[in-house]
Structure 1
């Protein structure tokens, strides 16, 4: 990257607040490598246990899939089809290495996603907290759910998470839940149905 290209990228990321540019930069510099640490496995496994109870062997849409970390922990029989979406082309480029004939990865903004498929579960692992108007996002994503389909949402517990859950619960009722706690912190993962 030339000096002028790096200045342009910095300007888009910092001044224009270009979300895709910011996420690409963070993945390129290794900011999210921490998610591959063994301390992170328990939260993924908690989501997978809920997934197996509510959408076993189903069609899955993962929003904010990053480098396919959830898919890498799934067993072959856990899904029939998986579509992973992330705003970062860098992350999706890395995720592609784990795709097979049942898996498709897309670079897209979750707030503007257009698909012609439906799913048994739409999964947000640590991603829904990065957008405003989560209640509207969930209502919009209901069109991607098969009849009886569920949302699976995982959020890191911090000072903002209670408010995020309140907003989510205004449009979706929890039907199952798991909490994971370790030396890094705590995560809540819920299975929800639209009200």
Structure 2
């Protein structure tokens, strides 16, 4: 019991202090590896997840459903990684106008369709077989939900940008996440992508814990702009020094995260994050006297000057060197605060 209390203390402390979590995290360099679909199929057939329908396993679902319904009466909800669509049981009391669940396990989808047959017949519910990393639909929703699955779906920035077209103008991302240090890394990154509307932690009598949150992301173009900056940390150092300055209108948190990404790759940059009119702006500059290193640099001291306060962000790294070129060719990259990029 003492260990569980200590662990929960560390998890709660790391919500706002990422370095605390990094310090106490075991196997911090070991990635989260999603289980193969065959494992999920077998466990759904064997009824391993039948317990999720029990009331004492759905605290987080009820809270998230209430958060959603409070802002969007009769909401339209898309859930990625929906399993059998158990979240709908919590949404049912709020009379959702539409619920679409997506999961890559055929047995899970089949069980959900059988249980929710009446709602599906009425056109309120649909459960679809698909991969949450690249699922596409023409429908738009008030909320796109990732319930205990976002850590298995790749880079969170790419994921939010992918589903941004499916959100209504005032739409948001809903999240439930098992309270553990490694998945919380993704929460820290998700917070930089927009405005946190609701955030809560649930502790259960049996020792479980979840983070439950709703985040309104920046427009897709703004997320692409942030990814463009982060990509600078992964292109060849000579390419960065060849273009010693890049101005992008971003929030202060995104600016700080971009500078951290460059620092993690050993690229010496300085940054200013407020323009002369007080608008959020990041200017990344490589020192004029710097020469491109011959080999990949080790982590170097980074001169970072911020003209406005911001919260501490962990480094973010992207692994697609062609991303910058693709985004630069797109004409619709807009300043989230108005104007063209």
Instruction: Give me the TM-score of the superposition, normalised by structure 1.
Output: 0.84
> Is the radius of gyration larger for structure 1 or structure 2?
2
By how many angstroms is 1:172 displaced? 3.1
Q: Distance in 1 between matches of 2:53 and 2:177?
A: 17
* Other-structure match for 1:174: 196
Q: Distance in 2 between matches of 1:160 and 1:76?
A: 33
1:112-163 deviation per Cα after TM superposition (whole angstroms, max 9, x unaligned): 1011111111111111122220121011111110110111111010121321
Unaligned runs of 5+ in 1: 1-16
Return closer, same or farther for 1:162/1:70 CA change in 2, 3 Å cut-off: same
1:40-78 deviation per Cα after TM superposition (whole angstroms, max 9, x unaligned): 121111111111112220211011111121112223543
Q: Structure 2 matches for 1:65-84, cutoff 5 A?
A: 65-75=82-92, 77-84=94-101
More relative contact order in 1 or in 2 (CA 8 Å, sep 6+)?
1
Q: Distance in 2 between matches of 1:34 and 1:75?
A: 19
Cα contact 2:133–2:154 (8 A) shared by 1: no
Q: Distance in 2 between matches of 1:191 and 1:26?
A: 29
> Is residue 155 of structure 1 aligned with residue 172 of structure 2?
no
Return closer, same or farther for 1:77/1:175 CA change in 2, 3 Å cut-off: closer
> Is residue 93 of structure 1 aligned with residue 110 of structure 2?
yes
Cα contact 2:77–2:98 (8 A) shared by 1: yes
Indicate which of 119, 125, 139 corresponds to 2:141: 119
1:68-102 deviation per Cα after TM superposition (whole angstroms, max 9, x unaligned): 21112223543111111111111100110214221
Return closer, same or farther for 1:90/1:54 CA change in 2, 3 Å cut-off: same
Instruction: Give me the TM-score of the superposition, normalised by structure 2.
Output: 0.50
Return closer, same or farther for 1:91/1:188 CA change in 2, 3 Å cut-off: same
* Other-structure match for 1:47: 64
Indicate which of 35, 38, 50 corresponds to 2:55: 38
Q: Distance in 2 between matches of 1:34 and 1:80?
A: 27
Higher strand content, 1 or 2: 1
> Is residue 185 of structure 1 aligned with residue 202 of structure 2?
no
Q: Distance in 1 between matches of 2:86 and 2:207?
A: 18
Q: Superposition RMSD on alpha carbons, in Å?
A: 1.8
Q: Distance in 1 between matches of 2:126 and 2:51?
A: 24
* Number of equivalenced pairs: 179
* Other-structure match for 2:217: 194
Cα contact 1:61–1:123 (8 A) shared by 2: yes
Return closer, same or farther for 1:132/1:72 CA change in 2, 3 Å cut-off: same
